């Protein structure tokens, strides 16, 4: 059976954030509201050691699409809102989600510490406005004098946009009071395209494919560099692998 996986090469990744921006652009996720991150693609940045012997790591984090997913087990509805597809993707169905956040609490990767807070691998859409609402606002700061955000956006050559797509389980803009997360851009994968974060990475640090296929690039990379996963002791069997390191060229 197919098991989609992602390999992230930490020797190539410098934490530029292109993957996170690509994810937001593709999936219309919200920005930072009241200091809370709403990212399907997040980062852990670590500096260890003492000068001059220091080591820096920019580690992208996302849903690990675990083979033994705690979020799926924790989902209380029937049929489950969080479930596994035949391709090994941990999928979220918006219509079945009741917003209980049990999946978020069960996920050992959703609250890992990062600079300024915690990772938001599974996010809760509280305000119901994942797509930036500012550019739809027709009010003027000074009536009759200044432009409204909507008018300004309409006059630009490249106005802020909403990426529209169709998928049976999730909408391009999700409703309020449900959880949401990375779904490996399945709406793209079904068309033979790569997840948008993979396409956008300027260093080609991300590789996506079927890890069950021994001849696939992801399987070969994991074998060659002895790929590691986050929190293996949790027994979740993640399908996001990390290889090499930024400070050590090997």
- pLDDT truncated to tens, each residue of the chain (250 aa)? 899 999 999 999 988 999 999 998 899 887 654 344 568 998 888 888 888 888 888 899 999 999 999 999 999 999 999 999 999 999 999 999 999 999 999 999 987 765 555 677 898 887 666 556 677 789 998 999 999 988 888 887 666 777 889 999 999 988 889 999 999 999 999 999 999 999 999 999 999 999 999 999 999 999 999 999 999 999 999 999 999 987 654 4
How many of the other CB atoms lie within 10 Å of CB of 128? Answer: 13
> What span, in angstroms and rounded, lies between the C-alpha atoms of 45 and 116?
11
- Which of these CATH numbers, 3.40.630.40, 3.30.70.20, 3.40.50.150, 3.40.190.10, describes 4-128+173-243? 3.30.70.20
Can you give the pTM of this predicted structure?
0.87
């Amino acid at each position: 059976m197919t098991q989609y996986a992602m390999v992230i090469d930490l020797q190539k990744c410098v934490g530029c954030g292109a993957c996170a921006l690509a994810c937001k652009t593709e999936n219309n996720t919200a920005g930072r509201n009241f200091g809370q991150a709403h990212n399907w693609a997040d980062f852990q940045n670590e500096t260890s050691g003492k000068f001059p012997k220091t080591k820096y790591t920019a580690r992208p984090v996302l849903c690990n699409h675990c083979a033994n997913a705690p979020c799926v087990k924790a989902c209380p509805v029937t049929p489950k809102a969080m479930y596994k597809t035949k391709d090994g993707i941990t999928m979220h169905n918006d219509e079945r989600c009741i917003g209980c956040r049990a999946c978020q609490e069960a996920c050992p990767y959703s609250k890992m510490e990062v600079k300024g807070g915690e990772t938001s691998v599974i996010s809760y859409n509280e305000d119901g406005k994942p797509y930036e609402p500012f550019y739809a606002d027709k009010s003027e700061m000074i009536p009759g004098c200044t432009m409204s955000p909507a008018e300004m956006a309409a006059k630009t050559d490249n106005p802020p946009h909403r990426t529209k797509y169709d998928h049976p389980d999730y909408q391009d803009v999700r409703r309020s009071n449900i959880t949401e997360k990375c779904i490996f851009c399945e709406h793209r994968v079904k068309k033979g395209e790569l997840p948008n974060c993979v396409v956008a990475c300027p260093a080609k640090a991300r590789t996506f494919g079927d890890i069950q296929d021994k001849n696939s690039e992801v399987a070969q990379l994991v074998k060659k560099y002895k790929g590691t996963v986050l929190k293996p002791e949790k027994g979740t069997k993640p399908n996001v692998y990390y290889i090499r390191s930024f400070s050590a060229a090997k």
